Amino acid sequence: MAGVSRCLKYSMFIFNFLFWVCGCIILGVSIWIRVSKDAQEALGISDSSMFAGVDVLIAVGSIIMILGFLGCCGAIKESRCMLLLFFIGLLLILILQVAGGVLGAVYKPQLEAGLNLTLTEAVNLLKDNTENAKQVQESWQKFQLQSQCCGLVDGTSDWGNNINLVIGGKKVCECEQKYQEENLCIPFGDRYVFKQPCKTVLLDFLRKNMDIIMGIAFGMAVIEVLGLVFSMCLYCQIQRK
């Protein structure tokens, strides 16, 4: 029994050490993005909605670090209290993941409607002339050129009076000759613009990568279940001593 306990104990420690390292990496990178101007410019992060995603990553990294610490110390010190806290924390995360997946499937139409509403509200920034809006416009122009799309929901009309704005040496939505040959452009006044709104590009990206997202979620769930099993088995063996 002692050999089995030792094997389980160090397996639990290694598992949670890797868990803790992952938490450190997520936390460190997300804090770096949050405070570094260079990182924000490189990733095109400029408005508060994007910073909200970084803040979520900081919270996730912190939680993973704490759980990993509890699991490591609980395994090495054979502390039932730490193992129990680890088990409860991991179980809550697993329940939230499952609940989120179920709610996402049930309320998919409402989520799409919410996305449309968010994009519609973001259109106002493309039409605006404030300093904050200009930063968003610069970032969005880069995205448009990379993705060969225009605007958010309704193409050129999303830019309003800013449609002839020059950003980075090019007018917004301007379609180059090479893309015209690929039938990605439509005539607009005295020039060509990308005909596809960026909403379509974003939705296509989500649909194409849904399998990857589901695979990551499934992998995380398997890891969490293993953590629950390890912690409960070790807890029971310690309790028997």
Report how far residue 30's alpha carbon sits from residue 83's, in angstroms, rounded to the nearest whole number.
Answer: 28
Average pLDDT over residues 56-76: 87
Report the 10 Å Cβ neighbour count for 137: 21
pLDDT at 190 over 60: yes
Contact 86, 235 (CB under 8 A): no
Q: What is the pLDDT confidence band of residue 11, given thresholds at 50, 70 and 90?
A: confident
pLDDT band at 18 (very low <50, low <70, confident <90, very high): confident
Q: What is the separation of C-alpha 213 from the centre of its chain, rounded to a whole number of angstroms?
A: 10
Q: Say yes or no to pLDDT of 4 above 60.
A: no
The predicted-structure confidence for 218-241, as pLDDT tens digits, reads as follows: 787 888 888 888 888 888 887 776
* Least confident span in 4-8, 40-44, 166-170: 40-44
Of 52, 71, 65, 66, the C-alpha closest to 25 is 65
| pLDDT at residue 2 in the model | 47
Alpha-helical (H) ranges within the chain are: 2-35, 37-43, 48-76, 80-106, 108-127, 131-147, 177-180, 198-208, 210-240
pTM beyond 0.85: no
pLDDT > 70 fraction of the chain, expressed in percent and rounded: 88
Query: Which of 81, 89, 33 lies closest to 64 in space, CA to CA?
Result: 89
Q: Please, which pLDDT band fits residue 1 given cuts at 50, 70 and 90?
A: very low
pLDDT in tens, 132-168: 788 888 888 888 888 889 988 888 888 988 888 888 8
Q: Binning pLDDT at 50, 70 and 90, where does residue 49 land?
A: low
